[in-house]
Amino acid sequence: MYEFLATSAATSGSSTTITFAGLSIGAYDSIHVSGVMAGTAQSTAYAYLTLNSVTTTTYGWNVRGMENGNAAPSNGDNSNASNQGRFGRVPGSNLNSATIYASVNMDIWGHRGTSAFPGRPAWLCQGGFVDTVSASYVGWGGGYNNSISTPISDIKFVIGNGTWAVNTQFHLYGRTTS
């Protein structure tokens, strides 16, 4: 079962970050994020996340799928030491971002860290968009390279170029065992 926790959205088109802060999610088995995203930059941009406001080289990620009709390279697009975790591709204004949004369907687990049982957060995200200019259907997987001893209390979604377009929004759910 999923319990709805919160929604956060870009309302002005001038924000580079959409934040869920003050979260109390340690009781949930995993966290699910759904939503839609678009950007204001002329071209497509990458979407990133940070956990607990950590922006050091602690994130790793990998992508597989199709972009612009071509398969991702055999080794994928990846990083083992990034200051943010990549989770998607955002359509830009060249794709008429007023009407083209990329979908977000992400699960985050390993988020419940304690001193006795440290966590190691990871995510898996599927998303995509299509337009006459560009197409992207990809799966992103990533993780936090270090263990955590306290639960995640904030999640920030950051756009790599430009700002989040108005109506970009993310919905947060907690998965329970019942």
CATH of the domain at 113: 2.60.120
Instruction: Indicate the number of domains in the chain.
Output: 1
Whole-model pTM: value is 0.87
The model's pLDDT over 92-115, given as tens digits with 9 standing for 90+, comes to 777 765 567 888 999 999 888 777
- Phi (first) and psi of residue 130, to 5 degrees: -145, 145
Which amino acid makes up residue 97?
S
Alpha carbon distances (Å) from 112 to 41, 90, 160? 35, 29, 27
Query: Counting every residue, how long is the chain?
Result: 178
Q: Which residue has the higher pLDDT, 159 or 78?
A: 159
Q: What is the dihedral of CA 115, 85, 53, 40, to 10 degrees?
A: -160
How much of the chain exceeds pLDDT 70, in percent? Answer: 83
Consecutive H or E run containing 118 = none
| pLDDT, tens digit, 9 for 90 and up, residues 110-164 | 888 777 777 888 899 987 776 655 666 677 888 887 888 888 899 999 999 999 9
Q: In whole angstroms, what is the distance from residue 105 CA to residue 41 CA? A: 23
The range of the structural domain enclosing residue 96 comes to 2-175
